[in-house]
């Protein structure tokens, strides 16, 4: 079999297509384009459909899908949701809880990651494995004692009751992403700082941290998304709309606006759209953060 003609110039890492008769290649290309289109549509269709629902009047929303699709557009439901003070307050709670979680998690996580990346010390492996095990931990197994603990500390139904567990369950990813990142920073830079007389803590804050900004950004985004999306802790440790997050509030719409599907749809989108934008903008960071474990693991 003559192999020289089989080489193709496509430089994809996987499955370089062997030269085939042109017609079947063209067909394959179309099938491929259809697959891409399908992927695109499936990913985004629920979002678009709920968007359509949120823009329909209360009367139209219960109609069959084809009628709903061509029903007149109205922003009534959005008006109801965005003028709902309770909802806006829970949105603010979400921002406060997710931001605080992210900041604290970055501080605790970067310190620990620096230790794991740069020091040889007894018990470091045990501690690292312990940290990473937390990401597999079923959260419900601790809500009972935590509930009692938070009552005893007087923080039940208060922001810290959601922030503290959120920090803990974001720590594994943070530590992992940052440890991998710190390890890739060349030692020579720290040596130089040392020669210049910097203490180890100074080396960390003035040399390592600035260099690790992309890694910190990745870890921060993942933590923020994780905390923003938390439902179990907010729903367990926070009791009312004064403290609970938008993620908990929106399902309440189902009872509050019992058949107002439009408000539910608009509320769901209001909570999600900022997040979708963050994901689109920081796509690269998220991908690198999510996969750093898989490759190095």
Task: Please give the residues from 187 up to 206 whose contact with other proteins meets the rule CB under 8 A.
Answer: 193, 195-202, 206
Give the nearer residue to other proteins in terms of CB position, either 127 or 217. Answer: 127
How big is the chain by its Cα radius of gyration, in Å?
A: 25
Residue 156: count other Cβ atoms within 10 Å of its Cβ.
Answer: 19
Binding mask 202-241 for other proteins (x = CB under 8 A): x---x------------------x--xx-xx---x-----
Least distance to other proteins, CB of residue 83, Å: 20
- Could you say which of 55, 56, 90, 116 contacts other proteins (CB under 8 A)? 116
- Could you say which of 78, 114, 159, 181 contacts other proteins (CB under 8 A)? 114
Give the nearer residue to other proteins in terms of CB position, either 210 or 297. Answer: 297
Least distance to other proteins, CB of residue 237, Å: 10
CA atoms within 13 A on the CB side of 109: 34
What own/partner pairs with CB < 8 Å and gap ≥ 24 does 18-27 have? none
Q: 197: alpha, beta or left, given left = phi > 0 and alpha = psi -120 to 50?
A: left
- Could you say which of 25, 49, 95, 155 contacts other proteins (CB under 8 A)? 49
Footprint of other proteins on 144-183 (CB under 8 A) = 144-149, 164-165, 167-168, 171, 175
Footprint of other proteins on 71-100 (CB under 8 A) = none
Q: Which residues contact 114 (CB under 8 A, 6 or more apart)?
A: 178, 182, 204, 208
Give the nearer residue to other proteins in terms of CB position, either 85 or 119. Answer: 119
Query: Exposed, middle or buried: residue 21 (CB in 10 Å: 0-12, 13-18, 19+)?
Result: exposed
Q: Which residue has the tokens 């989108």?
A: 269
């Amino acid at each position: 079999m003559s192999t020289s003609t089989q080489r193709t110039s496509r430089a994809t890492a996987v499955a370089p297509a062997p030269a085939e008769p042109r017609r079947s290649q063209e067909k394959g290309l179309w099938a491929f384009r259809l697959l891409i289109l399908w992927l695109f549509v499936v990913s985004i269709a629920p979002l678009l459909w709920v968007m359509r629902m949120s823009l329909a009047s209360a009367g139209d929303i219960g109609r069959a899908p084809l009628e709903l699709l061509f029903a007149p557009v109205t922003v009534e439901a959005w008006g109801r949701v965005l003028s709902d003070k309770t909802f806006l307050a829970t949105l603010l709670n979400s921002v406060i809880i997710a931001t605080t979680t992210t900041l604290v998690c970055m501080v605790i996580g970067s310190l620990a990651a620096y230790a794991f990346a740069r020091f040889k010390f007894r018990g470091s492996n045990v501690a690292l494995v312990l940290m990473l095990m937390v990401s597999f931990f079923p959260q419900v197994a601790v809500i009972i004692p935590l509930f009692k603990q938070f009552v005893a500390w007087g923080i039940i139904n208060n922001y810290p009751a959601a922030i503290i567990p959120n920090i803990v369950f974001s720590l594994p990813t943070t530590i992992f992403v940052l440890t991998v990142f710190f390890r890739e920073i060349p030692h020579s830079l720290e040596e130089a700082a040392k020669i210049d007389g910097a203490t180890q803590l100074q080396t960390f804050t003035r040399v390592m941290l600035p260099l690790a900004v992309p890694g910190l950004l990745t870890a921060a985004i993942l933590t923020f998304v994780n905390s923003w999306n938390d439902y179990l802790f907010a729903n367990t440790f926070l009791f009312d709309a004064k403290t609970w997050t938008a993620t908990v509030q929106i399902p309440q719409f189902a009872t509050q606006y019992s058949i107002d599907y439009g408000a539910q749809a608009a509320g769901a989108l209001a909570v999600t759209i900022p997040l979708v934008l963050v994901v689109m903008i920081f796509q690269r960071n998220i991908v690198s953060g999510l996969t750093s474990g898989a490759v190095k693991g």
